[in-house]
Amino acid sequence: ASQSALKHFLDLDTFDRAELRQILDLGKRCKAGELGSERPLAGKSLAMIFEKPSTRTRVSFEVGIRQLGGEPIVLEPSGSQLGRGETVADTARVLSRYVDAIMIRTTKEEKLLELAEFATVPVINGLTDRTHPCQLMADVMTFEERLGPIEGKTVVWSGDGNNMATSWIHAAARFGFELRLACPAALSPPPEVVAWGQQEGARILVTDDARSAMKDADCVVTDTWVSMGDDVGDSIRRHNLLKPFQVTEELMALAKQEAIFMHCLPAHREQEVTTRVIDGPQSVVWDEAENRMHAQKGILLWCLN
Ligand code: CP
Ligand code: NVA
C-alpha cells in the first residue's frame, strides 16, 4: 500500500466530520452486537507499544481486537529494543513486516508521527503528551448515549489544559459542540490549538472562571492534575493552581440539572473531582471506560478494512 493510502488514526483534527461519524457508527454497531459472530479481523495482528503505563487502553484494545478475531502483541520498552535505543523509524519498518496495524502510547508527538511516516501499516494514537483521540471517540459515544446528538450542546472542561483538553478542542471543531475550557492561566490549553478550533468555526471559550463557565452546561469534564508526561516535582504548584477548578457538587449544581460528569480515568478523588461527584448519579465514568473498547473496535475496523 502507498503511504498516503494508509488509514492512520492519529488525531481528530486530521479527519472530517463524516469520517469520524463513520468510525463511531462502526463502534456503535459493535456495541449493539450487529456484527453477530463474524470475525472481521481474523488473521490480523495489532502491535501495541506502551512507553507509558495503561490500564484501559491496553485491556480495551487487547480484548477488542480478540473479539473481532485478531491478535494483539504488546511491546513495552523494557522488553524491546526500543528501550535500548533502536529508533522509532526502524521499529516501524520492522513491525510493519509482521503486523497489520500498530498502536502507540508515547511521550512526544514527534514519535507518533515518525512511526506513521515509516510504518507501512496503519498507526493508531493511544495517547501522547499532546493528545488522546481514542478517548474522545469513547467520550462522544458516551455523551450521545445519555443526551442525544452532541452537536450544538455545551461541554465544560474544568482543570488542566492538557492532552485531553487538546483532544476535546479537536472534537468540538469536528462534532460541532460548544467547548468552554476553565483553566488556570498558567495551565491553559495551547493557544495555537484554541486558535485552530476557532478558525474551524468551533465555539471555544477559555476562561479562568469555572463557576461562570458552568451556565447551561450539558457535560462537565476534568482530568488528573498531574499527567504522565508532567514533571512530578511540579505537583505542588499544579495542585495549588488547580484547586479552584476541582469538580464539586457545588460546581455541578451550576450546570444543567441533567448534566453528566465525565473523566477519562484514572481519577484522584478529592483532587480534580470530589468522591461525591465521581461516585454520584451524574457520573458516567464507567460507561465511558467501557466505551473505549467499543469505539476502538470501530477504529480498528476502519483502519484495517
Ligand atoms: N483513559 C485512559 O487512557 O486510561 P489508561 O491510562 O488506563 O489507558
Ligand atoms: N492526561 C492524562 C490522561 C491519562 C489517560 C495523562 O496523560 O496522564
Task: Return the ligand 1 atom nearest residue 127 CA.
Answer: 3
pTM of model > 0.80: yes
Tell me whether residue 292 is one of the annotated catalytic residues: yes
- Looking from the CA of 268 toward its CB, the CA atoms found within 13 Å total 12
Give the pocket of ligand 1 (CB within 6 Å).
Answer: 54-57, 127, 135, 264-265
Express as a percent the part of the chain with pLDDT over 90: 96
For residue 2, pLDDT over 50 is answered with no
Quick check: helix, strand or coil at residue 48? strand
Q: Establish whether this prediction's ipTM goes over 0.95.
A: yes
Q: Which residues of 106-116 are buried (b: 16+ CB within 10 A; e: fewer)?
A: beebebbbbbb
Tell me the average pLDDT across 215-223.
98
The H-or-E segment that residue 101 falls in is strand 101-105
CB 245 within 8 A of CB 222: yes
Task: Return the ligand 2 atom nearest residue 163 CA.
Answer: 1
Catalytic residue among 8, 56, 58, 132: 132
Q: Rounded CA gap, 226 and 18, in Å?
A: 34
pLDDT in tens, 188-212: 999 999 999 999 999 999 999 999 9
The domain ranges of the chain are: 3-131+292-304, 134-288
What average pLDDT does the chain have?
A: 97
Superfamily of domain 134-288: Aspartate/ornithine carbamoyltransferase (3.40.50.1370)
Of 3.30.230.10, 3.40.50.1370, 3.40.50.300, 2.60.40.2380, which CATH number belongs to 3-131+292-304? 3.40.50.1370
Instruction: Decide if 3-131+292-304 and 134-288 have a common fold.
Output: yes
**Which cell goes with 122?**
496503519
| CA distances to 3, 29, 38, 247 from 33, in Å | 33, 6, 10, 35
The predicted pLDDT at position 1 comes to 41
